[in-house]
Every structure is written in C-alpha cells, then in structure tokens.
Amino acid sequence: MLQLNSLSFTANADGKDAEIIRDLTLTLHDNQFIVITGPNGGGKSTLAKLIAGIEKPTAGQILFDGVDITDMSITERARLGIGFAFQQPVRFKGLTVFDLLRIAAGKTLSLSDACNYLAEVGLCAKDYIHREVNASLSGGELKRIEIATVLARNVRLALFDEPEAGIDLWSFQNLIRIFENMQKTDRNRTIIVISHQERILNIADEIIVLADGRITKQGTREQILPDIIGTNYAQNPCQKMV
C-alpha cells in the first residue's frame, strides 16, 4: 500500500543544511496498525509530513497503491485517500466544528452523522457542533476534533502525529478504541501512528523505531516491544505525570 524508496529530506535551518530523513526505504502493507516511535528529533513527524505531501523530499520516491505520488500536491494525495491528524491542530476564527467535519466528509454531511463523529471522540455533540474552532477550545478538545476530521474522511491511509498528546488519561482508552474501530470498519485501511505511548505500542501490528532519520528497528510488536519497553520510546501513560 505504501512504499518509500531511498527517501531523503534536508531542511535548511539558520543557513545550515540538516538532513532529517536519510535514504529511508520502507514498505507498509494493507490493514496494518503501525506505530512509529523513536527519540525526539529523530524525523518521525517529518516522515509523516513527507507521506502527506506537506513536505517535499529532496530525493527518493513515494508510491501509494503502486502509484508514484512523489510530485503530487497535498490535495491530490488527500483525494487519493491519505489523511493526516496534526500534532498541534490549527485554530480557525469563524469556521465551526461542523464546517470542518463537512469539509472533511467532502459531501453534504448530515448533522446526525457529524454528531456521531464527535461522539466517537468523546465530545458531546450538542455542546460542540456549532462552536468555532478558535482559541476558546482547549488543546485537548482541539485534538479530539482533529481526530474526528480524519474519521469523517474515511481514508485508506490515516496518519496520526502524537494523537495522545494533550488528551487526558480517561480518553486514552477511548483513543485506542477509535483506532480499533477504524480498522474494523475498513479491512483495507492502514493506520500509522507516531507515539511513544506503551498502550498504543501494545496494539501495534508493526513497530518502527526511527532515530537520526533512519530506521533502527522494524518488526512485529512481539519482536520489537520487549526491546524498547521502559525506555523513552515506550512510555507508560503515567510516566509524564510523575
């Protein structure tokens, strides 16, 4: 479903070139739940952005269902079925939660369907559906709405960049249930989640450890998790609260 061939990405910061992704080759299959972990600054978010088209690779090739999407725009990739939930969701003055869900659905969206997406992310639809996606929403609320926009799109490949950041422990279980439901409802769907959380790693079919722009480990959960458990790459949800 997704193939990355010798992908590289160099960013220019303060006049210096920094290589964020280094000659990375990776093949991902249909109906997989993949978790990418690794140290901060290892290139995880950049890799997700390269797949969604938000960043353009400096070298290499991206194939999606066999089609070369390397030069395709964000919009074209979205229309092929790639979805992206941002680590830090954007606020919009004036656009309501319903507007965003309607845009995401790409068609006329009934109020009741929109409400279902909100209920799925644990928000009371009545309270949120007509609210503006502006600074009056908390980080946690925004994050859940961000996830709802991906649910509303019914994508083939869903990318979630640290979906758990900013949401409370209560909704952690909810989040995992969302991922499980997404996979149940479409057997062809692949989900890529960037996360350090042990609970999310625990439901992965495949785990990839990315460090310094390279894949340092890749394999099934059974193969990889024992090696990284207890490290910063696989944190217990309570760890950050200590």
Q: Residue 54 CB, nearest distance to other proteins (Å)? A: 6
**Residue 95 binding other proteins, by CB under 8 A:** yes
Nearer to other proteins, 99 or 212 (CB): 99
Distances (CA, A) of 202 to 205, 221, 224, 225: 9, 7, 11, 8
Where does this chain touch other proteins (CB under 8 A) — which range of 26-34, 95-103, 204-212, 216-224? 95-103
Burial of 123 (0-12, 13-18, 19+ CB in 10 A): buried
Euclidean distance between CA atoms 137 and 20, whole angstroms: 33
Out of 73, 110, 231, 232, the only residue in the binding site for other proteins (CB under 8 A) is 73
Q: Among 126, 110, 53, which Cα is nearest to 83's?
A: 53
Where does this chain touch other proteins (CB under 8 A) — which range of 27-35, 81-89, 108-116, 173-181? 81-89
Where does this chain touch other proteins (CB under 8 A) — which range of 7-15, 33-41, 88-96, 112-120? 88-96
**Residue 52 binding other proteins, by CB under 8 A:** yes
**Residue 103 binding other proteins, by CB under 8 A:** yes
Residues contacting residue 96 through CB under 8 Å, at least 6 positions apart: 129, 130, 131, 132, 133
Where does this chain touch other proteins (CB under 8 A) — which range of 11-19, 72-80, 112-120, 218-226? 72-80
**Residue 156 binding other proteins, by CB under 8 A:** no
Q: Residue 99 CB, nearest distance to other proteins (Å)? A: 6
Nearer to other proteins, 38 or 83 (CB): 83
**Residue 57 binding other proteins, by CB under 8 A:** no
31 Cα distance to chain centroid: 15
Q: Residue 84 CB, nearest distance to other proteins (Å)? A: 5
**Residue 54 binding other proteins, by CB under 8 A:** yes
Q: Counting every residue, how long is the chain?
A: 242
Euclidean distance between CA atoms 95 and 172, whole angstroms: 27
In 80-124, the DSSP E strands lie at 82-85
Out of 45, 149, 195, 197, the only residue in the binding site for other proteins (CB under 8 A) is 149
User: Which tokens go with 218?
Assistant: 């890749």
# residues near other proteins by CB under 8 A: 25
- Judge contact between 109 and 152, C-beta under 8 A: yes
**Residue 79 binding other proteins, by CB under 8 A:** yes
Residues contacting residue 20 through CB under 8 Å, at least 6 positions apart: 9, 10, 11, 43, 46, 213
Residues that bind other proteins (CB under 8 A): 52, 54, 73-75, 78-79, 82-84, 86, 89-90, 92-96, 99-100, 103-104, 106, 149, 153
